[in-house]
Structure formats: structure tokens, C-alpha cells
Structure 1
Amino acid sequence: MSSPCDPEYAPVGDVGAALMMIDSQLKAVYDGRTGKRAEEQRMADQVTASMGREGLDALLDGTCTLIYMFMTWLRAACEEHDKEVVEHVVPTLVGTMRMMPKTFRPEVIPTMAGLLIAAGTGLSPNLWRAQYGDWTAAEMNPLEATAVLLAEHINRISGGDRDFASRLITGALSRADQG
């Protein structure tokens, strides 16, 4: 039975721009560039401010698409080892969220966990979230950080390859363009 939250009904958004932002955040974390983070955040804020409403919506949808793609890959990896993605990934990421109170205020953690669970069970995270109203400004940084945490988790379990998650997505995008 089809769900109104089925990914086939979801807008894909600007996955390329979302991946660029996530990849930039990952590189900053890996390189330990804490001094440059404020400058990079200022530049990212300028880019998003110049996008307009449609561009921001596309970036938001693209970020949700990344979350869906990352969780789909993680679900397949877990299934290869007879494990359940929701059981093995979500608690780890929620625990990390709880250790980051400046990024993840307690009231947004259930929404971010819900996005992960929706994606992990094959539902579109953005359509799942749309059931509860419009996105709030307070959810924007946690949404981006959730995608970063997922990418970092994938990189770590892939043997520490810091670019694995990004290559996973760019490979999928390349295959989609060819098909």
C-alpha cells in the first residue's frame, strides 16, 4: 500500500547545493578549522540569503533527499549484517545530538529523530515532516547538522574514508544523469 510520504511523491530539491554545504561542514570538522568556521558560516549565510524562497526550498528538499539517500545506504549496509538500521543508527545519532546542545536544542531532537526513522523505514523525510506544518527557523541548523552527522557516520563505518558519503551521492547523481 502506498503512503502519502512515499519518496516518489517528494521533490528532490537541489541535492548538489545541499551536498556542497554538507561536504564543506565535514571538511571543516575533519580539518579542525574552528577559527574559520565563523567565516565559513557567514559565507554560507550570504549564499542562502541570496537564494530567495524557491532556492531555499530547493536546498531544504535537497538536504532531506540527502538524509533519505544516506539512510537508504545505511539500511542496505545494516541488512547485509542482519541488523535493523533504526536500531543501530538512530540511537547513536540521537546520542550525539544530545551532546551538542548549541546545535540541537532538546525540542528539535524528536523531529530530527523522526526524520531519520522516516527515511530509515523508506519514507520521504520532507513529506513526513510536512504533515506537521512548515519548517521552523529553529530546525534549519539541526537539519543540516543531521545530514552532516549521517555523512560522518557513513564515512566512519566505511573504514574512515572521509569522502565516502560524498562520493556515494555524486555517484548516484552521475548514474541518474546517465539514465
Structure 2
Amino acid sequence: MKLLSLAFLVLPGVLSRGLPSPLSNNQQPSPIGIADKVIVSAAAKAPNGEDAQSSNYDIQCNSNNATPLNWDDLWSCWNEIYNRGDALCAANPSGRFCEKGAVKISGTSYFGKNTASTCRAVANGLSAIWEKCRYTDQIGRAIYLGGSNAAYGNGELIVHAQNNWVAVLPSL
């Protein structure tokens, strides 16, 4: 996958609210197409040439037996967190960043201390989770599993994407 510089990327209709779009409504890209353009690879380099992701944390995916995440809820949380921009998303030593439907996005401190990153950095860490923690089922649908990853550029803030619902078993 080719990484694009976000500084020069205009995403019609979703992240560029209020900007004119050269595409008609029937040509708007699907959410997954937009997400693919903003994925930040764990191997990405920061402007100073150092690894953007800390080497002390590798992306972790829940097992394939885990309940998958709802794409609409996941995408909605990503948008909400990303659109907070340079505001801080803090884990003191843990914090919730978004809950939509059956999806919960939270963060914890790798070292158990207070930490924070820009919410945009948290969203980019989240997008790497859904890029790595997805598979295609037997009929070709993309299935997204929860997982965890460091916020972009901050290996101390671990972002978690998980299913937020709890099954209530009937009493016997």
C-alpha cells in the first residue's frame, strides 16, 4: 500500500467538510477507500527519520474467534476522534475516547502512568488496528476484529478497539 502525505491530501466529503468536492455524490469514495488513504503503517517514518511507532509495542489483534466490530460504529468513532484534531486524548492511566453502538475505543498507558497524544495520533493508531486486524470471510466481506496499537508517534499510549456489548445470558 502506498502511504500518502496527509498534508496534501483532500478527502472529499468526509474529512474535508465544507470544502467543494470535484466528485458527484454517486462518485464519492466508500469509507473503506478513504480509510485506506489515511492508514499509517507501523513501519512509517516520522519527519525526523525516526520510527513513528515506538518499538516497544506491536499491533495486537483479538483472536479470529472474537466477536467482530461493526464497521459503521468503528468508522464513526474514528471520525469523531480524528476530527478532535490536536486536542489531547489522555490516559490517566486509562481513558475512553469513543463509544458508538457496539464499539468502544479506549487507551491505556503502557507504563501505567499518565500519558496523552493528540486525538489525531490516536485515530491514526486506530486505523492501523483495523488495517492489520481484518480478514475476509468466505463470501468476501471484510471482518474487523478488535485489537490494540500505540498511538502514532507515542509508544506509551496504547489504543484499544473492542466490542462494547456484553451478552446477557438468560437465567435458568
TM-score, normalising length from structure 2? 0.27
Relative contact order, higher structure (CA 8 A, sep 6+)? 1
TM-score if structure 1 supplies the norm length? 0.27
